[in-house]
Structure 1
Amino acid sequence: MIRKNILITGASSGLGRGMAIEFAKKGRNLALCARRMERLTELKQELLTLNPDITVSIKPLDVNDHQAVFQVFNEFRDELGQLDRVIINAGMGKGASIGTGYFEANKQTAETNFIAALAQAEAAMTIFREQNAGHLVTMSSISAVRGFRRAMTVYAATKAALTSLSEGIRLDVMNTPIKVSCVHPGFIRSEINEKVKKVPFIVDTDVGCRALVKAIEKERDNSYVPTWPWALLHWWLRIAPKSTIRAMS
Structure 2
Amino acid sequence: MTIRENILITGASSGLGKGMAIEFAKQGRNLALCARRYENLETLKAELLELNPDINVFIRSLDVNDHDAVFEVFDAFKQDLGRLDRVIVNAGMGKGASVGTGYFHANKQTATTNFVSALAQCEAAMAIFRAQNSGHLVTISSISAVRGFRRAMTVYAATKAGLTSLSEGIRMDVMNTPIKVTCIHPGFIRSEINEKVEKVPFMVDTDVGCRAMVKAIEKEEANAFVPSWPWALLHWVMRIAPASTIRKMS
CA–CA distance in structure 2, aligned partners of residues 115 and 43 of structure 1: 27
Alpha-carbon RMSD across the aligned residues, in angstroms, is 0.3
Q: Distance in 1 between matches of 2:161 and 2:80?
A: 34
How many angstroms apart in 1 are the aligned matches of 2:24 and 2:246? 35
CA deviation string 1:113-150 (max 9, x = no partner): 00000000000000000000000000000000000000
> Offset of 1:72 from its aligned partner?
0.2
2:223 matches 1:239: no
SS of match in other structure, 1:157: helix
Paired residue type of 2:223 = N
Match for residue 123 of structure 1? 124
Q: What is the aligned partner in structure 1 of residue 27 from structure 2?
A: 26
Residue aligning to 2:231: 230
Aligned to 1:211: 212
AA in 1 matched with 2:234: L
1:92-118 per-residue CA deviation (whole Å, 9 max, x = no partner) reads: 000000000000000000000000000
Which runs of structure 1 show a deviation greater than 6 angstroms over 4 or more consecutive aligned residues? none
The Cα of 1:247 is off from its aligned counterpart by 1.4
Q: TM-score, normalised by structure 2?
A: 0.99
The superposition leaves residues 153-211 of structure 1 with CA deviations (integer Å, 9 ceiling, x where unpaired) of: 00000000000000000000000000000000000000000000011000000000000
Identity among equivalent positions (%) equals 80
Give the equivalent residue in structure 1 for 2:67.
66
Aligned to 2:114: 113
Q: Which amino acid aligns with 1:201?
A: F
Matches within 5 A, 1:88-237: 88-237=89-238
- Structure 2: distance between partners of 1:202 and 1:248: 12
Deviation at 1:151, TM superposition (A): 0.2
Aligned residues: 249
- For 1:246 and 1:116, how far apart are their aligned partners in 2? 28
Q: Structure 1: how far apart are the matches of 2:248 and 2:118? A: 30
Aligned amino acid, residue 6 of structure 1: I
